[in-house]
Amino acid sequence: MNTQLHIAIIQSNLVWENPIQNRLNFMQKIEGLDNTVDLIILPEMFTSGFTMSPQVVAEAMDGDTIQWMLALANRKGAAIVGSLVIKEHNNYYNRLVFVHPNGVVDSYDKRHTFTLAGEDKVYTKGEAQLIVNYKGFKIKPLVCYDLRFPVWSRLSDNYDVLLYVANWPTKRILAWDTLLQARAIENMSYCIGVNRVGLDANKYQYPGHSQAYNALGDKLTRLKPNTEDIALVTLSKSHVETTRNKLRFLDDKDLFSLK
């Protein structure tokens, strides 16, 4: 079992509703990473920006972007994760895909569609949680607005890493910063948040603030705000295990069931 996981956080601008150009831009960034990286994390809707016109950019699970991710993950020997617009059974989903270098694809449909922007009107919400087992780490991936709902994020499967991909705007960035750290502390896990930068077609500004926290809530990254940037972070399995075994806070957590 691996005891370390080397991740690359890619904080990037996105070209509005242009999957081809976004793939090219991310290709350039990913090709520049060395072969020690195990996991590459892209933002929410990384092929399009946070569009409410899914019919313009929607793809199938065997479409161009998934094929691109499969080929790139295989070539780099690293998993790639991010969300994009998927059409399936005549429904549109804001779907996170976790593509393993061996060709396995795990997926999670965003549970909490963002009602303030009308996402709930055009995208079908997900019903199931996902735990990804990768290189000895258990990773729980979630999408943007999910961050505001601690019950959905709560530790139930002894995961090691909480992972959020997002398009989180500048005007509410204090909530992003605060809740990422809180999720790390309350679940005693690593918490990673990857947010885009730049201005979208709706004139919303995104500042980045992509971050990684350890199980004590200590910040591990210093990405430049409002700037395309990449952070390399090493996660330690023993850090999570040692912290939980020493402090035992999770022994006192409340039990509940989701409905």
Active-site residue (options: 44, 119, 135, 140): 44
Active-site residue (options: 17, 135, 144, 237): 144
Active-site residue (options: 110, 135, 140, 237): 110
| 110 assigned to active site | yes
Most distant CA pair in the chain: distance in Å?
Answer: 51
| 44 assigned to active site | yes
Catalytic residues: 44, 110, 144
